[in-house]
Amino acid sequence: MSMLEINHLTKDFGYNRGVFDISFKVEKGEVYGFLGPNGAGKSTTIRQIMGFIKPQKGKIVVNGMDAWRESAEIQKNLGYLPGEIALPENLTGTQFIKMMADLRGIKDFSHTNYLIEKFQLEPKGSLKRMSLGMKRKLAVVTAFMHDPDILVLDEPTSGLDPIMQQVFIDYIKEEKSKGKTILLSSHIFKEIDATCDKISMIREGKLISSFVADDLRHNTDKTFKLEFDDNLTYQSFLESIHENANLRIVGTKPKFNQVKVSYNDKDVNEFITVVSEFKLKFCSEIKFTLEDYFMSFYESSKREVK
């Protein structure tokens, strides 16, 4: 059963801002990465999952319940870590933890204490004087103190130092191993790579790509860049490739007699046989990893900014 279903979600703020016809599903036990440049619509989507704002069109179902109408019931079993944290400044960390525990009806503090220890939270001081990182740790502890089955994390490690970022990644993995369902919005590749099963990419409010992370991690397609001695060799190589169904030309630079060729691992012998008939100047593999995909996504969105 899907724990989280987003169906044709639209929230139009005007001037092309908002989210438009977004659909994806997160299955039980999955860590789902939600990526996109600044202003793409991640937090807007997440706020609708939380029932803070009402979708204009479409529907969100969390654990079988409607995200807008049944948000109070949903939140009993959901932990939400917002991107921007606002805490009441007139309290100490300890008072805030107590207040949140009362609101949630928590009597057993063993999980809360476990989180305090894990994230090395020092809750005693006043929130007014707490460092940004310490406030984020407090937000983490109070977001997950009720040990929820669904975690919705909007850029959870921003403001945490590298050691604490790693502690957080470990926490996500630990929760996943317990069968929790996690939606994670992030700009940090390391975090995504270490945790996510599936990924959706959003740009300008529209979902542009959804895929299984392992498909890219264990990509069986290879790409090589070849340069030939002269233009005649380059031309005849192109002709021989055109006749071959298993080798694909993915780019050419005629001025430099260069070709980029892709093939699947199973066709490696064919690639070697064809290439060995031509005199090469050089040949190098172009590795395309999940990180390359991640970066090319950001770079192409940067280029599109007018």
Ligand X SMILES: Nc1ncnc2c1ncn2[C@@H]1O[C@H](COP(=O)(O)OP(=O)(O)OP(=O)(O)O)[C@@H](O)[C@H]1O
Chain positions contacting ligand X, by CB under 6 A: 13, 17-18, 36, 38-44, 83
Q: Of 42 and 136, which has the nearer Cβ to Mg ion?
A: 42
Per-residue exposure over 220-258, b if at least 16 CB sit within 10 Å of its own CB, e if not: eebbbbbbbeeeebbeebeeebeebeebeeeeeeeeebb
From residue 53, give the alpha-carbon distance in Å to each of 2, 10, 60, 69, 258.
22, 11, 12, 11, 53
Q: Which parts of 4-43 interact with Mg ion (CB under 5 A)?
A: 42-43
Nearer to Mg ion, 35 or 67 (CB): 35
Question: Which of 10, 68, 83, 87 forms a contact with Mg ion (CB under 5 A)?
Answer: 83
Q: Could you tell me what percentage of the chain is helix, strand and coil, using 3-state DSSP and rounding each to the nearest 5?
A: 40, 30, 30
Contact, 66 vs 223, CB < 8 A?
no
Q: How far is the CB of 13 from ligand X (least distance, A)?
A: 4
CB closer to Mg ion, 29 vs 83: 83
DSSP β-ladder status, 17-27 and 221-228: unpaired
- Tokens 């390391």 — which residue? 190
Residue 138 Cβ vs ligand X, minimum distance, rounded to whole Å:
21
Compare residues 13 and 211 and give the one whose CB is closer to ligand X. Answer: 13
- By a kind-dependent CB cut-off of 5 to 8 A, residue 17 interacts, out of ligand X, Mg ion, none, with ligand X
Tokens at 263, concatenated: 């093939």
- Minimum CB distance to ligand X smaller for 38 or for 269: 38
Is 172 within 8 Å of 184 (Cβ atoms)?
A: yes
Minimum distance from CB of 301 to ligand X (Å)?
Answer: 11
What does 38 interact with, of Mg ion, ligand X, none (CB < 5 to 8 A by kind)? Answer: ligand X
Binding site for Mg ion (CB under 5 A): 42-43, 83
